[in-house]
């Protein structure tokens, strides 16, 4: 049981602390934290691309698609790495476009689905998403700070909850261990 608790600590403690630190960094230094997150994403993308190429070259399966995907991933990673400011600037714009498209998609599905209860709620929320998405896309700087603070708070709260959960699970495991010892 003690090994289980140690394993639990190793698997939950570090990610929880990283989540808290990243969340606080996003709140306090939004631009820098986003740039670091983009660089990390580019590095992971590059590693995945190189991995695909290596699997094609040295692996048992020689699918040309594997080589193509690997090269494309590596190229995108290099582009993202050297244009990290552009990616950070595009993030809120893409979020706005995505929200507007999602709202339009929801409205379009109403015509296909026919009448059902709660149709007015779908229309209302779809319109909110469309208008909100357009506002975000055309005023990204206004939304960028709010979005980063929200995401940062989410990471920080997630890390704190993970630490609380870790503590509760550890206590529960220790109580179970004590009960088993008492029965013996």
pLDDT in tens, the chain (184 residues): 677 777 777 777 888 888 898 889 888 887 888 888 889 989 999 999 999 999 999 988 788 898 999 999 999 999 999 998 888 888 778 878 888 888 888 777 666 555 555 677 778 888 988 998 898 888 887 777 787 788 788 889 988 988 887 877 777 777 777 877 777 6
Q: Global pTM?
A: 0.57
Matching residue, tokens 């993030």: 91
Segments making up each domain of the chain, as ranges: 2-183
pLDDT of residue 42: 94
Per-residue pLDDT, 46 = 96
Q: CB 105: neighbour CB atoms within 10 A?
A: 11
pLDDT at 139: 84
Q: Which of 142, 11, 36, 107 is nearest to 44 (CA)?
A: 36
């Amino acid at each position: 049981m003690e090994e289980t608790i140690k394993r639990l600590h190793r698997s939950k403690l570090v990610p929880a602390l990283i989540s808290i630190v990243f969340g606080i960094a996003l709140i306090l230094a939004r631009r820098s934290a986003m740039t670091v997150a983009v660089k990390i994403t580019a590095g992971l993308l590059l590693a995945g691309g190189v991995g695909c190429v290596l699997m094609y070259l040295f692996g048992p399966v020689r699918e040309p698609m594997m080589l193509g995907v690997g090269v494309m991933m590596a190229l995108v990673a290099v582009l993202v790495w050297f244009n990290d400011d552009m990616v950070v600037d595009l993030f809120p714009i893409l979020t706005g476009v995505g929200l507007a498209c999602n709202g339009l998609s929801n409205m379009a599905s109403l015509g296909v689905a026919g009448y059902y209860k709660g149709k007015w709620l779908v229309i209302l929320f779809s319109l909110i998403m469309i208008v909100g998405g357009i506002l975000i896309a055309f005023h990204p700087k206004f939304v960028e700070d709010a979005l980063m603070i929200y995401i940062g708070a989410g990471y920080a709260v997630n890390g704190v909850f993970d630490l609380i959960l870790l503590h509760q699970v550890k206590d529960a495991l220790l109580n179970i261990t004590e009960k088993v010892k008492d029965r013996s």
